[in-house]
Amino acid sequence: MRLLIIGTGSMARQHVLSFRVIDDVEIVGAVEPNEERLKAFAEEHRIPNTFPDLEAAIAWGEFDAASNVTPDAFHHPLSMQLIEAGKHVLCEKPLSTNYPLALEMTKAAERRGLINMVNLTFRAAPCLDMARQIVTSGEIGEIRHFEASYLQSWLVGHHWGDWRTDERWLWRLSTEHGSHGVIGDIGIHVIDFATYAAGKDIVWMESRAKTFQKAEGDRIGDYVLDANDSFAMTVELTNGALGVIHASRWATGYANMMRLDVFGSHGALQMTADGRRSWLGKCIGADIDTQSWREVHCPPVKTVFQRFAEAIETGENGDPDFRRAADIQRVLDLCLQAGSRSHGGVRLD
């Protein structure tokens, strides 16, 4: 596979490093309008061809697939250009800024028969894959309740740099720069994590989001800091189970922690994942009466990058695909519509 990387930010670097360890994947080009950043990125990663825009790369055409690693607002227009050019696409999350655009991307890729996938990185957490197997086997019975959270703290600490001076983070706090806040940035991850493990979809939800003051006048330079920082939602799954899902960038003590507890009629699971390590515990049988949790061995699973390369080789689309991301985007849109107001709940079925 000859791969084009679109964008040169921190996640683009992660894409390059992840694809470089896969056999038969050759990174042949990079796209970035900032000439200085493009040159530095290409030199660091030994990428032979560079382009100031996607139009130039498509005119060149010597690539099979592309990783769209740009800010959220560019996911739709750039991916649509790639689809129209007949190129397979791995897109960063969220798939787009709203459900109608995400659905348009999905239908276009499916109509052309192109491989289309979304980089939901927590699909590589071994605990998630094993949890889904346990749930679908019926070992913990029928799911009744769950709790899911995604906790970050880069608004509190400086472990990922100073967001006050770094545009990599400032744009994520400003709707004018294409951000939908914590809902758009990590909401897709925690919703996918919870519903994939449960093997069920959301059919009803109510939510509330909040933007907290972070700077005088809620502004730093050109960035108006109006994107949401925290959200909480209550949901019902297709089988009637209730759950709570929440995420925040103010979770001091947690750099990048995904947590999920799933409670069934005959047992329960609890899991954590931070992008590097994951853990799965099970409470079942005699352990129910003593509230004891036993660790479950979870073998490694393939990354989304490996699945994307494999899908192109076999011609069979991988998971998570555009349609999965579009379905989650529908839920995210409802969260955004609720904004900072109380929400009476919405049925999705």
pLDDT given at position 346 = 79
pLDDT tens-digit map of 234-276: 999 999 999 999 999 999 999 999 999 999 999 999 999 998 8
- Read off the pLDDT band of 344 (50, 70, 90): low
Percentage, residues of the chain above pLDDT 90: 91
CB 48 within 8 A of CB 28: yes
pLDDT tens-digit map of 272-309: 999 889 999 999 999 999 999 999 999 999 999 999 99
Looking at domain 122-302+318-347, does it have CATH number 3.30.70.1140?
A: no
Task: Quote the CA–CA distance of 200 and 20 in Å, as a whole number.
Answer: 34
pLDDT tens-digit map of 151-168: 999 999 999 999 999 888
Q: Where in the chain is the domain with CATH 3.40.50.720?
A: 2-120
Q: Where in the chain is the domain with CATH 3.30.360.10?
A: 122-302+318-347
Identity of the residue numbered 204: W
pLDDT at 148 over 80: yes
Q: Work out the end-to-end distance of the chain between its first and last CA atoms, rounded to an integer number of angstroms.
A: 39
Encoding tokens for residue 258?
């995904």
Which is nearest to 25 in space by CA: 4, 5, 3? 3
Average pLDDT over residues 90-96: 95
Average pLDDT over residues 21-45: 97
Mean pLDDT of the chain: 95
Task: Quote the CA–CA distance of 312 and 2 in Å, as a whole number.
Answer: 11
Which is nearest to 108 in space by CA: 92, 129, 91? 91
pLDDT tens-digit map of 179-238: 889 998 899 999 999 999 999 999 999 999 999 999 999 999 999 999 999 999 999 999
pLDDT at 345 over 80: no
pLDDT at 78 over 50: yes
- Read off the pLDDT band of 72 (50, 70, 90): confident
CA torsion angle for 190, 150, 75, 181 (degrees, to 10)?
Answer: 120
> Hey, how many other C-beta atoms are within 10 angstroms of the C-beta on 242?
13
Residues contacting 158, CB < 8 A, separation 6+: none
Task: Quote the CA–CA distance of 125 and 279 in Å, as a whole number.
Answer: 9
The helix/strand/coil state of 273 is: strand
Identity of the residue numbered 56: A
Encoding tokens for residue 112?
């052309």
pLDDT at 340 over 50: no
**Residue 306 Ramachandran class (φ > 0 left, ψ -120 to 50 alpha, else beta):** alpha
pLDDT given at position 149 = 98
Which is nearest to 12 in space by CA: 32, 35, 33? 32
pLDDT given at position 195 = 97
pLDDT at 339 over 70: no
Given 3.40.50.1400, 3.40.50.720, 3.60.20.10, 3.40.720.10, which CATH number is that of 2-120? 3.40.50.720
The string of DSSP codes covering 198-253 is: HT--EEEEEEEEE----SGGGEETTEE--S-SEEEEEEEETTS-EEEEEEES--TT
Which is nearest to 247 in space by CA: 179, 193, 174? 193
Which is nearest to 194 in space by CA: 117, 265, 135? 135
CB 223 within 8 A of CB 349: no
pLDDT given at position 336 = 86
Task: Quote the CA–CA distance of 110 and 83 in Å, as a whole number.
Answer: 10
Enclosing H/E stretch for 121: none
Task: Quote the CA–CA distance of 235 and 204 in Å, as a whole number.
Answer: 6
pLDDT given at position 342 = 47
Residues contacting 39, CB < 8 A, separation 6+: 50
pLDDT given at position 38 = 97
